[in-house]
A and B are shown apart, each in its own frame.
Chain A
Amino acid sequence: MNKTLRNITLPVALILSLGACHKIEVPIKTELTPEVFPQNTDQYAQAAGPVYVALRGNYSVEHFFLQSASTDEVIFPAFGGNWYNGGQFQQLHYHNWTQDHSDVSAEWYWTSTIIGLVNQTMATLEQVEPAGAAKDKDLAEIRMVRALAYFYQMDSFGNVPIVDVAGDYSSHPTKPRAEVFNYIESEIKAALPSLSTTISQATYGKPTKFMAYALLAKMYLNAQYYTGTERWNDCIAACDNVITPGAFTLAPISTYLQMFYPTNGPSTPEFIFAIPYAPSAVNSFPFRSQNLHQRYDLPRRLVSKYAVNFTPDASISTLPSYYANFNDVNDIRNKQWLTGLQFQADGVTPVNYTTTNQSYNQNYSGANPTGSITYQVTLTPNIELRGGVANFDVGNDELAWNMGYHNIKFYPDASSSNRDMNNDIPVFRYADIILMKAEAILRGGTPTLGATPLSLVNQLRAQRSSSAAWTSVTLETLYAERCREFAWESWHRNDMIRFGKFEAAYGFKTNTDPNKRIFPIPTTAMRLNKDLVQNPGY
């Protein structure tokens, strides 16, 4: 018996002694777990960071294309099939985009990510940051970023769901646009008291009280379109809340262009809220998060003139109907355009390029297609679909590359080793406040602070043109002024809709469907949220 026991005990004991260890947890020592982060002021700032990285995300590319290439401001044709990209830009121009359009999806995804990040970051900071003014300000700032993202979503998609807490995986159905409008308004008002009024490096790139008022002004200016209720006086009041403290001034004619240069930043006097960009900035989101304007804006044959360290990808340009607004030779804003014959920086030496007859003009029918031709780079105003009307193609030759007037407001950044730019992009400028107030009064609001639409417009024009001041202003001339002032700043779709011009025929577009004022809910979004309802007309 004893031997038996002994003989059985040994192996069983061995198994048991080793088998006794069933401790499966592995402590995480190499990651930022909620136990170790965030815990102090510096870390709260780092924790808020993702919200701003995400906001920077699609602003310079996809958001810009959606808001601009769907108007007469920007056209992006295909070049011998290149950049046709499934008809992406053709659809934006023709207003026949589908719910699979990649920029439409990108806008939804981008704004949703910002909102989700704010929800999550607010929950974290709410929990860990000690109560006090600093906490209130930190929360109010990112709350304003969320309000801005909701504003873009409401502006682009109309009816969207509202989710403002983290971790709630329950059903989130679509809310009507008016309800979303009210929600954003209440959010801005809730955040306002805790926001800073300091305009300095410390608040640059972050929402301040003035940013909140600017967004409110933009909301109220479009309130009639969004909700059916006009809010002109609320718009004027919001503008006055920016104007009265005198924190901002209009940039003088001498530095207007520099506002958008790679050197712009916290000291730019008109920037109420701008998104800072730097080639060295890093991001991990599926967004570009870089200012890539020079990639699209700069004609290929002007690489040496602007000494950039990359080959521009493609060529976007404006339509003649938009450029027609730049009809005052004394206007500094004309200088943001590249037109006609091109000269080197000295203004005298022509920019020449040598190629073959055939490459210069793909339709060359002369005797010597391989013959060499040297021409001075000349940008021509019109867009001709020589490569095919059906496929929105201008062809793939020198003539095509130089078609259309190009905008280099976001001046090429020769200091960058690649195509990423250091130019910060403004969201709200003081000039917009001035023109919004003028427009609100012109549309029926009550004048305040002794200002009239004309005085406001002339206040701006004095810093833009040496021509004589205007003697009258109409909605039509105000619209043209906005075109001149905010070209390439992603507001043109918003303006065209408000001025009733979005359905007009321009360029090659003939579609007049007013349903196109809002974009469809993307297929990708409907796949992720089964409770979404498609917008009318899609």
Chain B
Amino acid sequence: MTIALLQVSAASVAQRINLDRKNAPLKSVFTELSKQTGFDFLIDAKTLERAKPVTVVLKNVSLEEALESCFKDQPFEYTIDDKSVVVKDKEKSIYERVKEYINAVIITGTVVDDKGMPLPGVTVQIKGSAKTTTTSNNGSFSISVNKGEILVFRFIGFQIKEVAIGEQTNLKVTLAEDQQQLSEVAVIGYGKQSRATLSSAVSTVSSKELNKGAITDVGQLLQGKVPGLNVTASGDPNKTAAVVLRGASTLNSSQGPFYVVDGVPGVDIAAIAPDDIASIDVLKDAAATAIYGNRAANGVIMVTTKKGKKGQLQIAYNGYVGQEKVASQLDMMDATELRAFLTKNNQALTPINDVGADTDWQKSIEKNSAISHNHNLSFNGGTDHSSYYASLNYVKKDGIIQNTGLERVIGRLAMEQSAFNDKLKFSLSVTNSNSDAQDVPNRNVVLLQSALHLPTSAITNADGSYFENLSVDGYYNPVAMLNHSQMNTKTNNLVANFNTQVKLPFGLTYNLNLSYLNSTALRGEYYDSYYTSTYNGLYSNPDPGMGYHSQQSFGTNGQATRSSLQNVNKIVETFINWDKKFGDHALNAVLGYSWQNNTIGDGFQATTSNFPVDNIGYNNFALSNPYANPSFQVNFGADGVYQETRLISDFARLNYNYKEKYLLQASVRRDGSSVFGADHQWGYFPSVGAAWRISQESFLQGATVVSDLKLRASYGVTGNSSGFNAYTAQSISGSLGTYYNNGSYIAALGPTQASNSDLQWEKTATANIGLDFGLFKGKVTGSLDVYDKKTTGMIYSYSVDPILVPTGTIVANGGSMSNKGIELTISTTPVRTTNFSWSTSVNLAHNKNKITSLSNPLFSGGDSVLYSFPEGLGQSSHSLQILKEGKPLGQFFSLIYAGKDANGVSQFLGGDGNLTTTPSIGTDYHYIGSAQPKLLLGWSNDFHYKNWDLNVFFRGVFGNKIFNATRADLFRPNTATLTNILSDAANESVADYNAYQYSSRFVESGSYLRLDNATLAYNFKVKSKYFKVLRLYTSSNNVFIITKYTGVDPEINQGGISPGVDYNNFYPKTRTFLLGANVTF
């Protein structure tokens, strides 16, 4: 199909032609001829690429004469048809064909990389011709070439190589890796862009660079890899890592970045198997993210999955088996230490608590080792017009805590089909991820109990029953808790996406994306009759935050909860791309529209009690009889779980560059969200960016030190419309309990939220200045970014005088937050010899977070809010943190420890400056450090020696403080007869009744440097018909850590509003050792 490329219609123009051109592109000549004659010139864009420059001088000639001159040396012929000139490739004469046949040789060969590994999928093209082939799985190719012609070898991530064909018929071509080309293309919103022409801050992480190990969570894959991305993870297989990009930009719950997978916004990242990921692009500044307007305030992470390649079938298997062991645990007293301590202090254990045992209670709830294994089998392939990629991933990851683990199966299919001369392309991808997560109910309580149980007690009594001493308040056998309860969540995650792409004239491309995301969670929770009778009234131990612990009340003879909730996102996105070059000017424009409808919480929850037997678990509610217990209520969970939201956007972006030297970018997105007040549903999110590739300037040409230099600057505004209830702006009544009305307890229904019709967009503006550089011919590359990120109109649940708003809170705009920081990445290859190479890459990030305002014109209640209540015994209202203007998020605000008084009792600095042993909450509090790290470090090293490669990755966090409330609560010398204490507390006096008070004594440095991963691999040179790549590796995570922190691990959650609080809620970190294989067939 020939598509009209050049059309200038003019009805009455002279038929006589004047033209004077020297070495002009044929295209421009056609344009001029069309202008003068009114004829359209129809030529395939690819054909035109083979045009030779034209030199003509024409004076008052006819069109035919003019065409003859212009086509003299061109490999084209033309026909004139009505008012069009149709240009085609010249038919070859028989002579030419025979000559070609005689000259033609069949060249065969293989293409390998600089390590000798075969490279499949390399494009082999005869220069100046359309004739191409690709290398097969073992890197081999075969192509018919004329002598004297040149073969061009192209492969992404490698330097282009040209080979002139002489007499040889067999070639071995080695392609050198192109360090710069690896990240040549960045995936940005609604398109891709060459890194060279990027004016925004985008970090690209290739699949090779992602963290290795038994990792099931994308956050952990990226940990330490991207400057400015603060990722904290525990050892919990079922908890996603907390991810904060460039500091928290909001107080509401939506702090994590927004994930876009293959252009589908908002995908649950758990649906994607790490082995299926090709690359991850982290969009950091507003110029990059503003195109995702309303959800981009916390950064956007673009995940690109692997796709099928043209060529023959390729089968790959990636798998590993790993073993995890607890890396570190609290150093509690053992039985001998505890007895010695008590004897020294003239105290003794009660007989019930001391049966002569020496139990390590922490070990008792842990497994000796947890096994993980992951298997990913994929096959892909393609023809010239279609490709496919299919994979099946199975992972089973046991948690190191008993009864915890994750089992997940992910199936993925991605297909592409082109039609109509590749002008139309359909892609369909369907991913289904099914997870089965085992967890422990009240796990934080189990963790707490495992720390404080006396070592002198045995887990079981002589008769095999579990030991319990319920006369001690809040004292439960953690092993019994584990084994008398169950918790299971089965999540099914479907991501389906259908994309239609139409190539239109003028470099226009039209895209239509239809996506359907469906996630269903089926949860079951069961407490057996032992649990409900023994632990009724236990207090929960929630993660630190605004809330308090709450008393758990169970029914009798077992209690079960079941819930099934579905979330569905339906997304239509359509946009048109325009790519155009005018000489030295290049333009790229995007214009689009997006519609999205989300429903969440579609389903039910029910809790019942009183089962005849224990072994039914939560699987047969019909056997329960909840009505026999008058004080038990069948419970249907929270009110208002079902929510529906709609997001609609119009967006546009324009990229312009001049000679790829001066780059400009501007975008604007108009976003609408149903969650806001009627007059505030729409918001505008603009951005601009500019870059100057200084190295393209003549004065830097030939510079020996600087080989590449680009200065970037950008500014933009992004928004946030999530993290709060869908109907927040409106007045809603809901269940507020039951009350006595004429003999029965009827529902009390009233406003559960205050309406706020003024609720509007939270906006985050980011200014970014960046410098990308390559030194010494690209031997050292790096980027430096400085940013200033400001959130205004922060949506937050303000405390309100309940006399005005009885719910006591109102979700309103008001506060502002500032993050300023600097990020640096440097990569280099200090050693590169034939057999040995060492590449290293360091990234550093510093961020300063500050809450700049917490007030709303109407509601003053956001500031000075005290929160994080670990609620250790006797410390019920002690808060650890404060939300305060001018302070960072997570500011510690509590007592200052001032040594001990004459009686050996801990004393504290009072609010009045005097020392006190009876400090008051609030009045005697001081600012005692921040949880915000000053420096994040990631340091990666790659060593290659012959067939071996070794990767060593260090990660560090520096300058942050941790409030070690765990330590405080295990630092109770005066109650050591009732609960165990830390070995460290051995020299404390039992007379010090204040020893454990939450104070600066328990605020510690959270700095650490961890050897996060070391992977050693051997790449077999396989000379087999079937095997192509065989790589065996062994990897170890969390090899060692250097830290002064006295808790289990300094990697305490940095996300949410309570960063840096260690409170017996920390799932132990593990040390992993694994063996893996990558096989390609």
Which residues from chain A sit less than 8 Å from chain B, CB to CB?
Answer: 1, 3-4, 7, 10-11, 14-15, 18-19, 21-26, 28-34, 37-38, 43, 45-54, 56, 78, 80-88, 90-91, 98, 100, 102, 109, 112-113, 115-117, 119-121, 161, 163, 167-169, 172, 201-202, 204-205, 266, 276, 278-286, 289, 300, 309-311, 313, 355-359, 362, 365, 369-370, 372, 387-388, 390-391, 393, 396, 415-420, 422, 523-525, 527-530
CA of A95 to CA of B1021 in the docked complex: distance in angstroms?
Answer: 84
List the B side residues contacting A85 at CB < 8 Å.
874-877
List the B side residues contacting A24 at CB < 8 Å.
646, 648, 672-674, 681-682
List the B side residues contacting A15 at CB < 8 Å.
574-576, 591-593
List the A side residues contacting B673 at CB < 8 Å.
24
**A391-B918 CB under 8 A given contacts A84-B874, A527-B863:** yes
List the A side residues contacting B629 at CB < 8 Å.
417
| A282:B873 contact, CB within 8 angstroms | no
**A52-B739 CB under 8 A given contacts A31-B727, A530-B860:** yes
List the B side residues contacting A278 at CB < 8 Å.
631, 740, 745
Q: Among B650, B727, B921, which residue has its beta carbon within 8 angstroms of that of A19?
A: B650
| B806:A117 contact, CB within 8 angstroms | yes
- 7 inter-chain pairs at a CB distance below 8 angstroms, sorted by A residue, are A49-B746, A53-B739, A81-B993, A85-B876, A281-B745, A356-B349, A417-B536
List the B side residues contacting A201 at CB < 8 Å.
742-743
Chain A to chain B: the 7 pairs with minimum beta-carbon distance, closest first: A49-B748, A100-B922, A50-B750, A283-B737, A19-B593, A279-B631, A276-B740
B462 interface contact, C-beta 8 A: no
New contact pairs (18) apart from A54-B806, A281-B740, CB-CB < 8 Å: A3-B7, A7-B506, A18-B574, A46-B746, A47-B749, A49-B747, A53-B737, A80-B974, A81-B993, A86-B875, A98-B920, A276-B740, A283-B748, A289-B737, A370-B348, A524-B799, A528-B799, A528-B800
With both chains docked as a complex, state the minimum distance between the C-beta of A211 and any C-beta of chain B, in angstroms: 15
| A46:B574 contact, CB within 8 angstroms | no
| A86:B631 contact, CB within 8 angstroms | no
B306 interface contact, C-beta 8 A: no
Residue picked from A98, A116, A161, A419, most chain B C-beta under 10 Å: A116
CA of A31 to CA of B350 in the docked complex: distance in angstroms?
Answer: 55
With both chains docked as a complex, state the minimum distance between the C-beta of A148 and any C-beta of chain B, in angstroms: 15
**B803-826 CB contact bits vs A (8 Å, 1 = yes)?**
111101000000000000000000
B732 interface contact, C-beta 8 A: yes
| A313:B975 contact, CB within 8 angstroms | no
| A98:B593 contact, CB within 8 angstroms | no
List the B side residues contacting A286 at CB < 8 Å.
808
Q: Among B631, B748, B923, which residue has its beta carbon within 8 angstroms of that of A416?
A: B631
List the A side residues contacting B860 at CB < 8 Å.
527-530
CA of A1 to CA of B646 in the docked complex: distance in angstroms?
Answer: 40
List the A side residues contacting B921 at CB < 8 Å.
86, 100, 102
| B874:A417 contact, CB within 8 angstroms | no
B940 interface contact, C-beta 8 A: no
**A45-B806 CB under 8 A given contacts A356-B351, A391-B994, A420-B631:** no
Which of these binds chain A: B311-319, B390-398, B637-645?
Answer: B637-645
Residue of B nearest to A83 (CB): B874
List the A side residues contacting B674 at CB < 8 Å.
24-26
B537 interface contact, C-beta 8 A: yes
List the B side residues contacting A388 at CB < 8 Å.
905, 993
Q: Among A83, A117, A167, A300, which residue has its beta carbon within 8 angstroms of that of B750?
A: A117
B470 interface contact, C-beta 8 A: yes
Chain B, range 75-114, C-beta contacts under 8 Å to A: none
Residue picked from B354, B536, B972, most chain A C-beta under 10 Å: B536
CA of A388 to CA of B904 in the docked complex: distance in angstroms?
Answer: 12
Residue picked from A33, A393, A415, A527, most chain B C-beta under 10 Å: A527
Residue of A nearest to B533 (CB): A309
**A523-B922 CB under 8 A given contacts A15-B576, A81-B974, A120-B750:** yes
Residue picked from B644, B800, B922, most chain A C-beta under 10 Å: B922
List the A side residues contacting B752 at CB < 8 Å.
284
With both chains docked as a complex, state the minimum distance between the C-beta of A361 and any C-beta of chain B, in angstroms: 11
List the B side residues contacting A80 at CB < 8 Å.
974-975, 993
**A280-B745 CB under 8 A given contacts A113-B808, A417-B536:** yes
With both chains docked as a complex, state the minimum distance between the C-beta of B560 and any C-beta of chain A, in angstroms: 16
CA of A515 to CA of B592 in the docked complex: distance in angstroms?
Answer: 68
CA of A50 to CA of B593 in the docked complex: distance in angstroms?
Answer: 45
| B801:A30 contact, CB within 8 angstroms | no
Chain B, range 846-887, C-beta contacts under 8 Å to A: 858-861, 863-864, 873-878
| A11:B536 contact, CB within 8 angstroms | no
CA of A145 to CA of B891 in the docked complex: distance in angstroms?
Answer: 41
B9 interface contact, C-beta 8 A: yes
Chain B, range 667-682, C-beta contacts under 8 Å to A: 672-674, 681-682
| B740:A52 contact, CB within 8 angstroms | yes
Residue picked from B348, B576, B630, B806, most chain A C-beta under 10 Å: B806
| B510:A78 contact, CB within 8 angstroms | no
| B537:A31 contact, CB within 8 angstroms | no
B633 interface contact, C-beta 8 A: yes
**A390-B504 CB under 8 A given contacts A281-B745, A355-B350, A372-B351:** no
B379 interface contact, C-beta 8 A: no
Residue of A nearest to B862 (CB): A527
With both chains docked as a complex, state the minimum distance between the C-beta of A285 and any C-beta of chain B, in angstroms: 7
| B977:A358 contact, CB within 8 angstroms | yes
Residue of B nearest to A286 (CB): B808
Chain B, range 899-950, C-beta contacts under 8 Å to A: 905, 917-923
List the B side residues contacting A417 at CB < 8 Å.
536, 553-556, 629, 631-632
List the A side residues contacting B736 at CB < 8 Å.
49-50, 53-54, 283-285
CA of A111 to CA of B58 in the docked complex: distance in angstroms?
Answer: 97
**B776-807 CB contact bits vs A (8 Å, 1 = yes)?**
00000000000000000000000111111110
List the B side residues contacting A422 at CB < 8 Å.
631
CA of A420 to CA of B864 in the docked complex: distance in angstroms?
Answer: 34
List the A side residues contacting B589 at CB < 8 Å.
none
B734 interface contact, C-beta 8 A: yes
CA of A3 to CA of B730 in the docked complex: distance in angstroms?
Answer: 51
CA of A400 to CA of B1058 in the docked complex: distance in angstroms?
Answer: 37
CA of A163 to CA of B863 in the docked complex: distance in angstroms?
Answer: 23
With both chains docked as a complex, state the minimum distance between the C-beta of B513 and any C-beta of chain A, in angstroms: 11
| B536:A310 contact, CB within 8 angstroms | yes
**B702-732 CB contact bits vs A (8 Å, 1 = yes)?**
0000000000000000000000001100111
List the A side residues contacting B593 at CB < 8 Å.
15, 18-19
B978 interface contact, C-beta 8 A: yes
List the A side residues contacting B745 at CB < 8 Å.
278, 280-282
B60 interface contact, C-beta 8 A: no
B153 interface contact, C-beta 8 A: no
| B576:A11 contact, CB within 8 angstroms | yes
| A28:B727 contact, CB within 8 angstroms | yes
B738 interface contact, C-beta 8 A: yes
CA of A1 to CA of B922 in the docked complex: distance in angstroms?
Answer: 77
| A19:B574 contact, CB within 8 angstroms | yes
| B470:A311 contact, CB within 8 angstroms | yes
| B348:A81 contact, CB within 8 angstroms | no
CA of A172 to CA of B748 in the docked complex: distance in angstroms?
Answer: 29
List the A side residues contacting B473 at CB < 8 Å.
82, 311, 313
CA of A396 to CA of B873 in the docked complex: distance in angstroms?
Answer: 13
Q: Among B471, B645, B738, B743, which residue has its beta carbon within 8 angstroms of that of A300?
A: B471
B170 interface contact, C-beta 8 A: no
List the A side residues contacting B465 at CB < 8 Å.
none
List the B side residues contacting A102 at CB < 8 Å.
876-877, 921
Residue picked from A49, A169, A355, most chain B C-beta under 10 Å: A49
Q: Among A81, A113, A372, A527, which residue has its beta carbon within 8 angstroms of that of B806?
A: A113
| B876:A359 contact, CB within 8 angstroms | no
| B731:A528 contact, CB within 8 angstroms | no
| B923:A100 contact, CB within 8 angstroms | yes
Chain B, range 575-617, C-beta contacts under 8 Å to A: 575-576, 591-593, 595, 597
Residue of A nearest to B674 (CB): A26
